[in-house]
Amino acid sequence: MEACEVFTSLAKLAESSPEINGVIWSSLVEAPSPLAGRLVSQLGGEGALCLLAEVASGRQVCELDGITSDGLVNLYERVLPRALCLNPVKSLDNLEKIGGTILVPQSVGWPRGLSSLGDSQPFALWVRGQIPAGLPISIVGARSCTRYGEVVAQEMALNLSKTGAVIVSGGAYGIDSAAHEGALAGSGKTIAVMAGGIDRLYPLALEQLHSGILERGAVISEVPLGSRPARWRFLARNRIIAALSAVTVVVEAGTRSGALATARRASELGRPLAAVPGPVTSQTSVGTNRLIKDGARLVCDAQEVVALAGEEILSMDLFGKIAPEIIPGIDTAEEDELPISTKRVLEVLPLYGDSSVSSIVRASGLSLQEVLTALGELELCSKAKRSKQNRYSRLKV
């Protein structure tokens, strides 16, 4: 089937139901993609796919508000490899087999806070369990936390749960797991926002915790089944944690902690941001102490978090919006000098074995030309190697 026919066929499926449309777009696009979000917002899912079919046919397409023809071509080149192998009906069947559901912005249970993300709002949420009602408060922080941070996160989540709050976190090691455990210990409700597919809950060592979350709340993700928790997806999902929550609390964070990305997004969205202070001698408190210095509310217990939420302020005017540029670095990639697209390609390259260029394109969500450029850069800096069969692998350093 030619590319034009593929997009035309997907457009017809997208018209059949909002859920199918959500499956299609959340599977095609590597989020967040403001361009794709803007396109779907203006034309609807079906109309956007029809426009991509026109791009595939080589026809001249008119530019839209905030979307250039070059931008459309780039989007088309990025999503084509995934479109060619996408079966949205089968994806929904597989989701049903694991007891999952799909939520889209039109759904009754769609979290209203996500609309604040604008064009970067998820196209869909893949859900296992039941998203609970209640005031959502996120507790995030370092994976390599100290015992101090772990205890504070657990006790804060426990006591917040007793007030009826829903604890939101990322389902990972460290402060995330401590927050979920605290909520569950208090017979409370909690939501884990995952960086990978909800059929591949990560990390595997926290299987028992994830099972508890499914019993009392939900595990959600914006990426489809089978998606692995790549590094860039952890950073992308942080915007969802921030948008879901009425208040974001950071408990321990080093200067490069991904939790600072959540803090930055909460600040950008105008949501109340709080941080727990720590010893000036502790590396895991450098980030939180800096947040407090730059305007985040200092909190030490659940009562203070509830008071902050109770003020019902949707702007940071009371103590100043924290400028993103003064929040400590949040890029957790080790190769700081590489462009973002090159880092993404490096992340999908296998340490053992090798991958074809087409596989790398599908996994990264980038266009063929972007992947080839990135692979060339990685070869030049001795971070990747190409075999005689034109397959690529990551070089160990």
> Domain segments of the chain: what residues?
3-92, 130-326, 340-394
Measured between alpha carbons, how far apart are the two ends of the chain, in Å?
A: 42
Of residues 390 and 49, the one with the higher pLDDT is 49
pLDDT tier for residue 379 given thresholds of 50, 70 and 90? confident
Q: Whole-angstrom Cα distance, residue 299 to residue 308?
A: 9
Main-chain phi, psi angles of 260, to 5 degrees: -70, -25
User: Which distant-in-sequence residues (6+ apart) come within 8 Å of 292 by Cβ?
Assistant: 275, 277, 298
Mean pLDDT in residue range 237-250: 96
Q: With beta carbons less than 8 A apart as the criterion, state whether 171 and 201 touch.
A: yes
pLDDT tier for residue 339 given thresholds of 50, 70 and 90? confident
Tell me, what's the pLDDT at 256? 87
Tell me, what's the pLDDT at 45? 96
User: Which distant-in-sequence residues (6+ apart) come within 8 Å of 305 by Cβ?
Assistant: 137, 156, 160, 247, 249, 274, 299
Q: Residue count of the chain, please give it.
A: 397
The dihedral built from the CA positions of residue 152, 155, 159 and 161, taken in this order, carries a sign that is positive
Q: Whole-angstrom Cα distance, residue 29 to residue 376?
A: 24
Query: Which 8-state DSSP code applies to residue 355?
Result: B
Q: Is 200 helix (H, G, I), strand (E, B) or coil?
A: coil
CA 111 to chain centre: 15
Class in CATH terms, 130-326? alpha beta
Tell me, what's the pLDDT at 336? 55
Mean pLDDT in residue range 147-151: 97
Tell me, what's the pLDDT at 203? 93
pLDDT digits (tens, 9 = 90+) for 293-335: 999 999 999 999 998 887 543 332 222 333 333 333 333 334 4
Element (H, E) at 312: none
CATH number of 340-394: 1.10.10.10
